[in-house]
Amino acid sequence: MKSTKKVIALLTLVVLISNVGIGQSGAKFGYIDSNEILTIMPETDSLQKELKAYADYLDEQMSSMAMEYQSKVAKYQENMATMSDLIRKTKEKEITDLQNRIQAFQQSADQDLGAKQAELFNPLIEKVKTAITEVARENNYTYIFDVGTGALVFYETGDNILPLVKTKLGVK
């Protein structure tokens, strides 16, 4: 137990010393909300519209499959009493296969939509990252924290570089 307390005390001392060292080294901290900069970029609206159009297209396909499924189930239930065992089993398999295709399509559509989002937004994200890097270098920042991702809980003493990045990107 005493050795654990000694280790904790030693680690605390190391952390305090390294914090003093950072403070004396002239480290400059800044922060930005990446979500905010992405929402005000002019390209974001057109990319959002393109992504929504693609999602709507996938939804149309899904709705079409769902309507086909409902139609087959309704027809099956309506005629079930008059069907022979062979026809009934065939129709049940047909409905089950369609249900499996719908589930597979849903999973594939979700993945496809995520890939489309990455394809559309990655160039914009890279553009913002480049601007942040340039602003950090031009203004001698040692660290820039992204508070938009929740990676930092306290940033009161940092400088918000959002206005500088907006100017760099030509965004009002």
pLDDT tens per residue across span 81-92:
999 999 999 999
CA distances from 122 to 8, 44, 86, 101, 164 (A): 43, 11, 53, 31, 21
From 145, 51, 65, 125, select the one nearest 97 (Cα to Cα): 65
Q: Which residue has the higher pLDDT, 1 or 50?
A: 50
Give 30-50 pLDDT, tens digit per residue.
888 988 999 999 999 999 999
Q: Quick check: 27 pLDDT over 70?
A: yes
DSSP string across 14-53: HHHHHHHHHHHTT--EEEE-HHHHHHHSHHHHHHHHHHHH
